[in-house]
Amino acid sequence: MNENEDLITLKVPAAAEYIDLVRLTLYGLAVKIGFSYEEIEDMKVAVSEACNNAVLHAYGDIRSHAALTGTLAEAPHIEVRFVKRYDALSIIVKDEGTSFDAAAAAKLAQPVDGKTIDELQAGGLGLYLMQALMDDVVVSSEMGTEVVLTKRLIRSGDH
């Protein structure tokens, strides 16, 4: 982080009903930076995919254990950090759940042109969608999974 960046952090329960809070925060920041409606909608879809992946895949074992025992040491959560710059917005979606093979997932995230619905692999489609909608997507899965989504702002006069 440098002096030209603002950091906003949200920590929400890893449940689908809280993804709207992430989307609303994203919307407010993106408007302040000057992104267009279309760019904001693209970012909202990408961040929803990243958050949904965390909700659906990261904490499966923890949630089933909690349901069986009725206890949970720490409730599963997603941390979302927004790094606001003059000319870009990065959204970092981080969970502490089960890691996955990011390299293998990236290989699945190949272009869907010319493929039938049967040929598409559900596991790679969300990542492909994030890559199609954002300027940069970086996934790391050393401790939990972290997805960094970046959209650059092209201001009038920039080429």
Q: What is the pLDDT of residues 97-135, one digit of tens each?
A: 876 655 555 555 455 555 554 554 555 678 889 999 999
The answer to whether residue 159 is domain-embedded is no
pLDDT at 57: 80
The answer to whether residue 157 is domain-embedded is no
Phi/psi-derived region of residue 144, left when phi > 0, alpha when psi is between -120 and 50, beta in every other case? left
Residues 6+ apart with CB under 8 A from 66: 72
- CATH at 55: 3.30.565.10
The answer to whether residue 158 is domain-embedded is no
pTM of the model: 0.78
Tokens encoding 58: 């990261």
The answer to whether residue 118 is domain-embedded is yes
* Mean pLDDT calculated for residue range 145-152: 96
pLDDT at 100: 61
Q: List alpha helices for the chain, DSSP H.
A: 19-33, 37-53, 60-69, 102-108, 122-133
The answer to whether residue 132 is domain-embedded is yes
The answer to whether residue 54 is domain-embedded is yes
pLDDT at 80: 97
* Mean pLDDT calculated for residue range 26-42: 95
pLDDT at 98: 73
The answer to whether residue 72 is domain-embedded is yes
pLDDT at 157: 60
Separation of alpha carbons 22 and 54, rounded Å = 13
* Mean pLDDT calculated for residue range 65-91: 78
The number of domains in the chain is 1
* Mean pLDDT calculated for residue range 80-90: 95
Residue 26's Cβ-count burial label (10 Å; 0-12, 13-18, 19+) is buried
The answer to whether residue 85 is domain-embedded is yes
Query: What's the domain range around 57?
Result: 6-152
Scanning the structure block, which residue is given the tokens 């950091």? 7
